[in-house]
Structure formats: structure tokens, C-alpha cells
Amino acid sequence: MLTCSKKSSNLLRKVGVFVSIISVFMLSLTACVGDNGKAKSSELVIGTTTPIDDSGLLDYLSPIIKEETGLSIKVISNDAEQTIKSGEAGEADVLLINDKNLEEKFVSDGYGLNRIELPSNYFVILGPANDPAGISSLKGSAAEAFKKIADSKSLFYSAEKDSIVNKKEMKLWQANNITPEGDWYSSKDKDLETVIYLANNENAYTLANRTTYSSVKDYIDLQIVMDTADDLNSKYTILTINPDKVKGVNKVAADQFVGWMTSQRAYKLIGEYVE
């Protein structure tokens, strides 16, 4: 009986050690898993709109974010409504969007925690004082202004190909299915400041961002002929997603991303990119 008791005691001790090991393992596993069961990861999925994705801003920022925070960025892009739906379905950890009405509804419906507006870049249409296309009196959109330039064949200078200003310009032409070509349209593979000076010398129209225009306005005769149209506004808003409403959100990574994007460092980089 004594021998049996010793064996039982040894067995119980071994069982106790095994249980302790399992407990430590489960605690470690729990520490690596979020409340919703999703493994914590340094990958952040950003849902954004196609125009923002096409602007190249996230391509520009992603390697910098990776180097400075360790976050790997994965982008899924779609139109604004589908981007919102991706946030509601837990397909993204954070949203980067530019539709105020959809943003506010996302938050009011409980899917979003906060709207965080990033520094904006406003584009302006510059033109000669006599404004031959009659844009300054136009109350409509920038796309309408571009149509008037094309219809009147007023001279227009285009910014460097694939620059953020050039991409914006192309979208404004495309809004009216216009392919800009002919003697009236001059495409210069030059930086924006140079293009503004060239347009100034020829009394031509051009598209610019306000920052660059402000830096040269004292040296040119071109004037702003349109600057308040909604389609001249390039604004970015971060929407943080409510993990209590949407399961599977990597909130730790999302908060880290928001912290970086709202830093002076990020503001400076965004400002430099859109100029």
C-alpha cells in the first residue's frame, strides 16, 4: 500500500507539472491573441477609395511607416461606398476616405469611433487676367471649367506627367470624356513651378496646388480663376473602427497608425508629397 501511495503521489506531481505547463502555454497564447480571437499582427489593412489609392500617397508613406513603426501596410481600394462596407464587414482595420457624409454615418451608426481629418491640399486653376474661357464667373465644378477651356481651345499647360497635380488634371478632363490634345494643349515634363512660369509667359491656363502657387504668386501675372469647387479639394480622413461593433479589427495596429499619421512628421511628409 505504501508503494502504491508513493507511485500515486509521483503521478499526481507529474500531472500537476503538466497542467502548469499547459496553463503557461495557454496564457502565452492568450497574450498573442486579441479579444476577438484574431492574432495580433504588425500587418495593418487599410480600406481606402480608388482616387486616394491612385494618388500614390499610401505607396509613398508605406515604406516609411514600416521603417519607423514596424507596421506592414496592406491596401484594399474601392469606391467610397464599398470602402465603408469593407469597414463594416471587418475586412479592414482602419479606413482612409474622403466622403464626409458617409464618414459621419459610419460613426453615427456605431461602426466608427472617430473621424480624424488630415492636412488638406487644395488645387487652384490659374489663368490670365482676361480669362478667355470665362472660368472666373463659373459657379460649377472644376470639371466644367476644364470643359470650357477645351471648348474655347484656350491655351493650357500641363504639369509633369504622373505628378499628383497631373493625375488630378487628368481626372478633370476624364470627367467630361475629354482627351486634351491639339495646339492649345501643351504637356511639359517639368516640375510644377516651372510649368506655372511657362504658362505665365504664354498667358495660358494651368492647374496648380495652392502651396506652389503661393510661393510664386508675387512673380507672375496669372491669377486664380477657380479655387472653391468641391472637386478641387483633396482631403483625407481617417476613420477608426469600433472593435466592439466590428469583430476582427486589429485595433492595436490601427491606433499605432493613427498616432503616426497625426504626428508632425507625417504632416510634413504629406505636405511635401502633395506639393
| Domain boundary assignment for the chain | 43-119+235-274, 121-233
Quick one: pLDDT at residue 21?
41
Higher pLDDT, 214 or 148: 148
pLDDT of residue 33: 41
Q: Are 70 and 42 in contact (CB under 8 A)?
A: yes
Q: Please say whether the beta carbons of 40 and 252 come within 8 A.
A: yes
Share of the chain above pLDDT 70, in %: 82
43-119+235-274 and 121-233, same CATH topology: yes
Please check whether residue 165 is in contact with residue 207, taking contact to mean a CB–CB distance below 8 angstroms.
yes
Distance of CA 233 to the CA centre of its chain: 13
Backbone angles phi, psi at 232, to 5 degrees: -100, 0
Instruction: Find the range with the poorest average confidence among 1-5, 238-242, 262-266.
Output: 1-5
Radius of gyration for the alpha carbons in the chain, expressed in angstroms and rounded: 27
Residue 56: per-residue pLDDT: 78
Segment 111-128 shows an average pLDDT of: 88
pLDDT higher than threshold 60 for residue 275: no
Superfamily holding 43-119+235-274 = Periplasmic binding protein-like II (3.40.190.10)
- Tell me how far apart the alpha carbons of residues 255 and 261 are, in angstroms, rounded to a whole number: 10
What pLDDT does residue 34 have? Answer: 43
- Mean pLDDT taken over the chain: 84
pLDDT of 194 reads 94
Question: Which residues, at least 6 apart from 27, have a Cβ–Cβ distance to it below 8 Å?
Answer: none
Q: How far is residue 36's CA from residue 246's CA, in Å, rounded to a whole number?
A: 10
pLDDT, one tens digit per residue, over 175-192 is: 999 999 999 999 977 889
Report residue 177 as a C-alpha cell: 470624356
The closest of 154, 207, 149, 157 to 178, measured between CA atoms, is 149
> Is the confidence at residue 27, as pLDDT, over 90?
no
- In this structure, which topology does domain 121-233 adopt according to CATH? D-Maltodextrin-Binding Protein; domain 2 (3.40.190)
SS3 169: helix
DSSP SS3 for 75: strand
Report the predicted TM-score, pTM, of the whole model to 2 decimal places. 0.58
| Digit-coded pLDDT (tens) for 194-248 | 999 999 999 999 999 887 898 899 999 999 999 888 788 767 899 999 999 999 9
Lowest mean pLDDT among 42-51, 190-199, 263-272: 263-272
